[in-house]
Amino acid sequence: MLSRTADHLYWMARYTERAENTARMLDVNYQMSLMPQSDKATELAWRAMLEISELTQSYGARHPRITAHEVIQFMVSDLDNPSSIMRCLHGARENARAVRGSITTELWETINTTWLEAQRMMREGALDTAPAAFFEWVKFRSHLTRGVHEGTMMRGEVFDFIQLGAFLERADNTARLLDAKFLAAAEFRDGQPDPVDDFYYWAAILRSVSAFETYRKVYRDVITPERIAELLTLNPNMPRSLEACVQQVVDTLSRVRNRVSGGTQMLALNLLAELQDHTIEEILEQGLHAFLTEFLARVNDVGSGISKDFLVPLDEAA
């Protein structure tokens, strides 16, 4: 496969996954903001949303205050924000258009229709009238795209590079979500937390990754930060956990490997081995923030290796 073709497939998947992840986090923050809470708690939640995507400085340069309306506009429709949902949907569509001959007609039509419908919804003011409905729509379109990909694509290199982009992006996002939310909890909940507020805070994290029911099935008990960290970090059966995502990356790299990708494959294997060898007690003793910071750096190294070994070099792509 040509490196440019692989590059388009990989980034098509990453942009689609990123749009869904952003919609998930915005939806949970928006729903939480409708509940009775202090102004400080509301601002902290939206600040964490920006920090997850490392956009605090970019947002602050253009907006003097952090408000729900302005953060939602910035994270959804601002085309100057490279991580906004509209930029991601457009990026996914443009990459899919470049490789129309490599993907099925059904997959192309799904991605193209998503972009066209998203533009129509923005023109009709969907964010002002029903932001929660728009977030659900973005998640649904991502699920539909994934289903069409799984159900119509022949298993081969094209399928694998789409998988590679999706799971690498998902691993990165789960780590960022955990890091930002646990740091915000440590900053804001420094006294005796209110049990009701505490429940809704941690439940919101689970809902943002569709893990609330899964948590109940696994633990059958109260929601605790330690168990959330364990579920989203080390549980191989949780689709959005770090270990599950890295396992998928390792499996895919073993199928697409070439004569120069051994180093990248070893980076991914070592990362998976360390996740499998750790317990949540060891991670918490080390410090969750330190652990996740190191994880993000290593995932970034794997992504850089994939770019160097298979895709268009980053400097040329830029």
DSSP of 9-22: HHHHHHHHHHHHHH
Predicted local distance difference test score (pLDDT) of residue 317: 46
Q: Using CB atoms within 10 A of its CB, is residue 114 exposed (0-12), middle (13-18) or buried (19+)?
A: buried
Rounded Cα distance, 45 and 37, in Å: 11
Residue 81 contacts by C-beta under 8 Å, 6 or more apart in sequence? 55, 58, 74, 75, 87
Give the separation between CA 46 and CA 42, rounded to whole angstroms.
Answer: 7
What b/e readout covers 120-140, taking b as 16+ CB neighbours within 10 angstroms? ebeeeebbeeebeebbebbbe
Longest dimension (CA), the chain: 59
Dist. CA 109–CA 28, nearest whole Å: 29
Any idea which residue has 């910071």 for tokens?
293
CA distance 12 to 107: 11
Residues with Cβ within 8 Å of residue 262, at least 6 apart in sequence: none
How far apart CA 134 and CA 34 sit, in angstroms, is 16
Residue 188 has a pLDDT of 57
Mean pLDDT, each 10-residue run in order, the chain (318 residues): 89 96 89 74 80 86 89 93 95 97 97 98 93 95 96 95 96 90 70 68 86 93 92 95 97 94 96 96 93 95 94 60
Question: How many other C-beta atoms are found inside a 10 Å radius of the C-beta of residue 298?
Answer: 17
Q: What pLDDT, on a 0 to 100 scale, did the predictor assign at position 2?
A: 78
Rounded-to-integer distance, Cα 112 and Cα 109, Å: 5
- List Cα–Cα distances, 82 to 75, 102, 111, 223, in angstroms: 9, 26, 18, 35
242 in Cβ contact with 176 (< 8 Å): no
Check residue 17 and give its pLDDT: 96
pLDDT of residue 192: 56
Q: Residue ranges of the alpha helices (H) in the chain?
A: 3-33, 39-52, 56-60, 68-76, 85-98, 105-123, 126-129, 131-152, 157-188, 195-208, 212-219, 225-234, 242-256, 262-277, 280-286, 288-310, 314-317
Question: What's the confidence (pLDDT) of residue 103?
Answer: 97
- Convert the pLDDT of each residue in 260-305 to its tens digit: 999 999 999 999 999 999 999 999 998 999 999 999 999 999 999 9
pTM of the model: 0.91
Looking at residue 316, its pLDDT comes to 46
